[in-house]
Amino acid sequence: MAPLAAYDPTRAAELFRLLAYRVQMTLRREYPRADPQRVADAVVDAVMSLATTDQTVTDGALYQIARSGLRTHYRSEVRRQKREKRLADLLAEAVPKPPTVLEEIAERELYSRWRVRLVRSDAEKVVLDNWLGGLSSAAGLARHTGLSEKAVRTILNRFRQRLLRERQRGEDER
């Protein structure tokens, strides 16, 4: 068979027909845990890149290019997985853990003690009274007080921030 010219539109199909299967099977033997679709994609990419060159194409050259493409893909895949794991770990740290029952009771006692310092509006007083009365969910507090859930969450967050400031002032005074 005469060598195929680089400008021949059927060169890629002929290279694939003649060489791709052997190269693909060699790569699958060399990388048994590799995804077969990734191996096939690497071989097709190698065929397409070699189809546009003027050089004589051997299965060794096709193998080297496909192997390089496969290894590059897996290196980038490993880096992507590490980035995602790092991000997931950061997000897991950022999500606050729900308070235990004892922490919630201690927090309620502090709120009732520092009520005068914490409450600055009538809406805050109503939310704090209902929260100290046993309503713990923002949805329940919103239904009972007539405020929106967002407003209730905002008020509870303000209480927590003020409480933290009061605790810090207490530690600074010691």
- Domain assignment present for 53: yes
Q: H or E segment at 122?
A: helix 122-132
pLDDT of residue 1: 43
- Structural domain ending residue among the three candidates 94, 110, 136: 94
pLDDT of residue 110: 72
pLDDT of residue 161: 86
Q: How far is CA 11 from the centre of its chain?
A: 42
One domain for residues 107 and 80: no
Rg, the chain, Cα only = 33
Q: What is the mean pLDDT of residues 73-90?
A: 89
Q: Is the pLDDT of residue 135 over 80?
A: no
Task: Pick the range with the lowest mean pLDDT from 3-7, 98-102, 131-135, 138-142.
Answer: 3-7
* Domain membership of residue 115 as a residue range: 101-173
Q: Tokens for 150? A: 């967002």
- Structural domain ending residue among the three candidates 94, 123, 153: 94
Q: Rounded to 5, what percent of the chain is helix, strand, coil?
A: 75, 0, 25
CA separation for the pair 50, 8 (Å, rounded):
12
Q: Tokens for 21? A: 């299967």
Q: Nearest to residue 160, comparing CAs of 110, 101, 90, 85?
A: 110
- Structural domain ending residue among the three candidates 60, 94, 128: 94
Residue type present at position 120: R
CA separation for the pair 89, 141 (Å, rounded):
32
One domain for residues 87 and 110: no
In terms of C-beta density within 10 A (0-12 exposed, 13-18 middle, 19 or more buried), how is residue 39 classed? buried
Q: What is the mean pLDDT of residues 113-138?
A: 77
Cα separation values, 99 from 62, 94, 106, 136, 146, Å:
60, 15, 10, 12, 26
CA separation for the pair 139, 147 (Å, rounded):
10
One domain for residues 121 and 54: no
pLDDT of residue 54: 73
Handedness of CA 107, 110, 112, 114 (dihedral sign): negative
Please tell me the total count of domains within the chain.
Answer: 2
- Domain assignment present for 72: yes
- Whole-model pTM: value is 0.45
What percentage of the chain reaches a pLDDT higher than 90?
5
Return mean pLDDT, the chain: 80
